[in-house]
A and B are shown apart, each in its own frame.
Chain A
Amino acid sequence: MEHLLNELKVKIVETLNLEDVLPDEIDEDVQLVGGELGIDSIDVLELVMMIEKDYSIKIDNKELGTEVFSTLKSLAEYIYQNSPETSN
């Protein structure tokens, strides 16, 4: 889980081109969207695409997205529970 959290931090910074943010600066318990990082709804969709590609997990509706992208921790937990690689 710790590994997944760190991996996601790097991927978020890369995917969203957050040039002024270091991966370690992302707090896993802080609000991810609309918070200090400046992540908005379009960024979330970009992350949805990345997660589908890299973890084979679809997050294809707004309601689910709002829940999953609440914090970095909630995102990591969702991936951990649903990934074909970790579910067994």
Chain B
Amino acid sequence: MTRVRVYIAGMGLVSPIGHGLSQTKDSIKKAKKGIKPLSLFPTPQKEPLPVGEISESFEINDIPRTHKLALIAAKEAMADFEDIPDAVVIGVTTGGMAITEEHLKTGNRDPESFKYHSLGSVANYIACEYQCKGPVITVSTACSSGTVAVKVALEMLRAGKARKILVGGADSLCRLTYYGFNSLQLIDPDGARPLDRNRHGMSVGEGAAMMLLVADEDVPDNAIAEILGAGLSCDAYHPVAPHPEGEGALRAMLTAIKDADISPSDIDYVNLHGTGTLDNDLSEAKALNAIFADKKPRLSSLKGALGHSLAASGAIESVISAITISGGLIPANIGCNIPDPELNLNPVMKPSKADIQIVLSNSFGFGGNNASLVIGSPKQGGHPVPLNKTSHLTVVGCACITGAGNTDKTIENVSGGKNCKGMLSISEISKDLQLRTVRRLKRLPQLALSLAFAAHESSGLSHTPSSIFFGTGWGPLSETYDFLTKLYESNEQFTSPIDFVGSVHNAPAGHVAIMFKSTGPNITTTGGDYSFEQSLMAASLLANDIEDTMLVIGADESHEVLSGLFDRSVLLDEKPSDGGGALCLRKSETYSGLKISPLFFENAENNSSVISSLIRNLGDPRKINDEYGSLFVGIPSARRETGEKQLHEFLSLSGFTNPIIDYRKFTGEFASASAVASVLAIRFAQNGEIPKRLCGGKTFRLNRKGILILGLGNFVTAIEVTT
């Protein structure tokens, strides 16, 4: 296979207008509206706000609603397939938050009760259900997560890293989003009325959609639709509000159109982001007017019918776009009575039939994260894309923060055989940042900004990176905790809009983008101890879309209450630790220097051959010994027994005899410790030696050999640093 096309082979969804494709089609034909007052949890307000709630009563157990919704959609998408997907990629912003909120409210402090809290646990749950042994990636870019997930999956397929991927988005209603969006005065008390001249905001919703995407040279007759292209951009303008002229939205749409190798006039229908807020609809309209002028295709927003299901919305809209193509059914822009003349758009007011060959679907989110997809009929020809070779990335700068201090302090400690455990003071973290920049920011965004600043500074480049990738195991814990604490202390009357805005996992990457005016792709990934590996993989997959320089950051904060509840490894260490690392990278074809490359990412659950698979992927034992002078191994404490078995197997199969560094013993336990390990590996490789205190008293010369960084435990990952 030298060229590929990517198509939707199976799909499923659950939303406030229906459970499954058949009910959804029926509801679209009848212009059904799924928005009604919240009933999922009690609120002290007499009249709960209207939301897009799914009237599905689930068995009460410890599996959160988001996970259950994702499984409903996955079951429908996979109904006709016996195959195991090669990878799972899901966009999520709330994960198990609805259950976490209940436990925090009642004072439950049993870590066992929080085992499904993480955003990444949704994708892990689905991967486990379908015995996926490959990469499991969670994208969290707020309201564009589901669409960005499709972009990541598309590039994995185009790179030949997988042949079939289960991809989608899922989110359930919870207090954080219900009260959070209301505190921003973004909720329409009468329900969302996208594009209406009296629109007053959005309605928060919930749902899930999943698709089985398959790569092949030719698209078979039973394909539902083809993913023709996708485009990402970042506003780099404001943490919440869209760019007033829609510049970011415009770039995402134009990039997607170019990626699909079509022209705007080929588009028959636009599935709008159309949330119903004054600012979103206006900026999206400006972008659409700039592209289509007087020749606009038919267009409508689904959010007046479904509400805004956040990370699920982009995936749901992709599935409904495929329904539009396969059935010629255009959904009505429900909620809009009189279109706002200022928008200069004429939405489809009633469900209608038409021959639709190509759809553009938009999703925009907090942090200025924009994503657009072009989906087409498999009959319209498409354009096979040459199989991409993902490139190595050249390291032009790096920085880390640990309990010991900055990069130099960390290197000094580790080289001397001393650990770097602990937490650096907040004033030390932010000492190079402007007071005005950080006054609203808590620990994690300050770590991310400081790392980004230092990594860029160490590159010596005068221009700033155009693209930001951020991996975090647990996201902004301080903001999340403070938001919920204020909410509960006031009997769910008051909370902090600043904390809500800061609580989304992609907020730190949004701040970095604003600092550097980085308007290219901006992706936050999350998945416990393998979050940084996910972000490096995303950066490598998207390298062809990026102009010049990118930053890949991994960071986590330690929080006195939440870290111990969420991350089992934290409880097993002598003291709380946090920090992270950042790499300033360029594409290797153009630049010389040290290279870094994500080589391997497999799910170790139900995968007894994971270590042999790793060795096969690295080449063979001789090649491993020839190429790598040292092994950096990350074994999270909570998975120490499994990890040590995996390491033992690796060593006996590879016969590796060079120095091995068990890096968490130096960094302490936090999810993105591997980002620090990558910076250490880069610095040691630059120096050409492993310090003597780390290898039994005698300095080890690398002799131009590289360093292999292994992540062990629930997943097995490998990153190589080579000269």
Given A20-B435, A41-B241: A52 and B440 interface contact (C-beta under 8 Å)? no
Contacting residues of chain A (47-80) with chain B, CB-CB under 8 angstroms: 48-49, 52-53, 60-62, 65
Determine whether the beta carbon of A42 is less than 8 Å from that of B185.
no
Is A17 close to B, CB under 8 A?
Answer: yes
Determine whether the beta carbon of B439 is less than 8 Å from that of A16.
yes
B588 partner residues in chain A, CB cutoff 8 A: none
Question: Which among B436, B440, B495 is the interface contact of A49 at CB below 8 angstroms?
Answer: B495
**Closest Cβ neighbor of B494 among chain A residues:** A53
The answer for the CA separation of A65 and B490 in the assembled complex, in Å, is: 23
> Which size class do B's interface residues fall under?
20 to 34
B184 partner residues in chain A, CB cutoff 8 A: 42, 45
Is B198 close to A, CB under 8 A?
Answer: no
The answer for the CA separation of A85 and B91 in the assembled complex, in Å, is: 48
B278 partner residues in chain A, CB cutoff 8 A: 62
The answer for the CA separation of A65 and B435 in the assembled complex, in Å, is: 26
**Closest Cβ neighbor of A50 among chain B residues:** B494
Count of chain A to chain B residue pairs whose CB atoms are closer than 8 Å in the complex: 46
The answer for the CA separation of A15 and B650 in the assembled complex, in Å, is: 54
A43 partner residues in chain B, CB cutoff 8 A: 440, 498
Is A18 close to B, CB under 8 A?
Answer: yes
The answer for the CA separation of A62 and B435 in the assembled complex, in Å, is: 28
Given A49-B495, A53-B490: A42 and B439 interface contact (C-beta under 8 Å)? no
**A16 CB to nearest B CB, Å:** 7
Determine whether the beta carbon of A46 is less than 8 Å from that of B498.
yes
Is A19 close to B, CB under 8 A?
Answer: yes
B241 partner residues in chain A, CB cutoff 8 A: 41
Is B706 close to A, CB under 8 A?
Answer: no
A17 partner residues in chain B, CB cutoff 8 A: 439-440
Is A38 close to B, CB under 8 A?
Answer: yes
A38 partner residues in chain B, CB cutoff 8 A: 436
Contacting residues of chain B (184-199) with chain A, CB-CB under 8 angstroms: 184-185
Is B521 close to A, CB under 8 A?
Answer: no
B497 partner residues in chain A, CB cutoff 8 A: 42, 45-46, 48-49
Is B376 close to A, CB under 8 A?
Answer: no
The answer for the CA separation of A61 and B498 in the assembled complex, in Å, is: 17
User: What is the predominant secondary structure among interface residues of chain A facing chain B?
Assistant: helix
The answer for the CA separation of A10 and B493 in the assembled complex, in Å, is: 23
Contacting residues of chain B (411-460) with chain A, CB-CB under 8 angstroms: 435-436, 439-440
Determine whether the beta carbon of B435 is less than 8 Å from that of A19.
yes
Determine whether the beta carbon of A45 is less than 8 Å from that of B185.
yes
The answer for the CA separation of A15 and B101 in the assembled complex, in Å, is: 25
The answer for the CA separation of A65 and B278 in the assembled complex, in Å, is: 15
**Closest Cβ neighbor of A38 among chain B residues:** B436
Determine whether the beta carbon of A45 is less than 8 Å from that of B183.
yes
Determine whether the beta carbon of B501 is less than 8 Å from that of A42.
yes
Determine whether the beta carbon of A18 is less than 8 Å from that of B240.
no
The answer for the CA separation of A46 and B490 in the assembled complex, in Å, is: 15
The answer for the CA separation of A18 and B436 in the assembled complex, in Å, is: 8
Question: Which among B435, B436, B440, B494 is the interface contact of A42 at CB below 8 angstroms?
Answer: B440
The answer for the CA separation of A11 and B489 in the assembled complex, in Å, is: 19
Interface 0/1 of A24-35, CB less than 8 Å to B = 000000000000
Determine whether the beta carbon of A49 is less than 8 Å from that of B494.
yes
Question: Which among B183, B185, B494, B498 is the interface contact of A62 at CB below 8 angstroms?
Answer: B185
The answer for the CA separation of A41 and B185 in the assembled complex, in Å, is: 11
**B524 CB to nearest A CB, Å:** 20
Is B510 close to A, CB under 8 A?
Answer: no
Is B581 close to A, CB under 8 A?
Answer: no
The answer for the CA separation of A49 and B486 in the assembled complex, in Å, is: 11
Interface 0/1 of B219-252, CB less than 8 Å to A = 0000000000000000000111100000000000
**A87 CB to nearest B CB, Å:** 21
B238 partner residues in chain A, CB cutoff 8 A: 40
Question: Which among A42, A60, A65 is the interface contact of B498 at CB below 8 angstroms?
Answer: A42
**Closest Cβ neighbor of B499 among chain A residues:** A46
Question: Which among B183, B436, B494, B498 is the interface contact of A20 at CB below 8 angstroms?
Answer: B436
Interface 0/1 of B496-521, CB less than 8 Å to A = 11100100000000000000000000
**A21 CB to nearest B CB, Å:** 10
Determine whether the beta carbon of A52 is less than 8 Å from that of B494.
yes
**Closest Cβ neighbor of B439 among chain A residues:** A17
**Closest Cβ neighbor of A65 among chain B residues:** B185
Determine whether the beta carbon of A19 is less than 8 Å from that of B496.
no
The answer for the CA separation of A55 and B501 in the assembled complex, in Å, is: 24
B239 partner residues in chain A, CB cutoff 8 A: 42
**A49 CB to nearest B CB, Å:** 5
The answer for the CA separation of A62 and B186 in the assembled complex, in Å, is: 10
Interface 0/1 of B174-185, CB less than 8 Å to A = 000000000111
**A59 CB to nearest B CB, Å:** 9
**A62 CB to nearest B CB, Å:** 7
The answer for the CA separation of A43 and B494 in the assembled complex, in Å, is: 15
Most buried by A among B184, B185, B239, B496: B185
A60 partner residues in chain B, CB cutoff 8 A: 185
**A50 CB to nearest B CB, Å:** 8
**A56 CB to nearest B CB, Å:** 11
The answer for the CA separation of A48 and B439 in the assembled complex, in Å, is: 18
Determine whether the beta carbon of A46 is less than 8 Å from that of B185.
no
A49 partner residues in chain B, CB cutoff 8 A: 183, 494-497
**Closest Cβ neighbor of A47 among chain B residues:** B497
**B101 CB to nearest A CB, Å:** 19
A-B residue pairs in contact (CB < 8 Å), sample of 29: A16-B439, A17-B439, A17-B440, A18-B439, A19-B439, A20-B435, A40-B238, A41-B240, A41-B241, A42-B239, A42-B440, A42-B497, A42-B501, A45-B184, A45-B185, A45-B497, A45-B498, A46-B496, A48-B497, A49-B494, A49-B495, A49-B497, A52-B494, A53-B490, A53-B493, A53-B494, A62-B185, A62-B278, A65-B185
Q: A18-B439, A42-B497, A49-B497 are in contact. List 4 more A-B contacts (CB 8 A).
A: A42-B440, A45-B183, A45-B497, A49-B495
Lowest 9 CB-CB distances: which A-B pairs, in order?
A45-B497, A17-B439, A53-B494, A46-B498, A38-B436, A20-B435, A49-B494, A46-B497, A19-B435
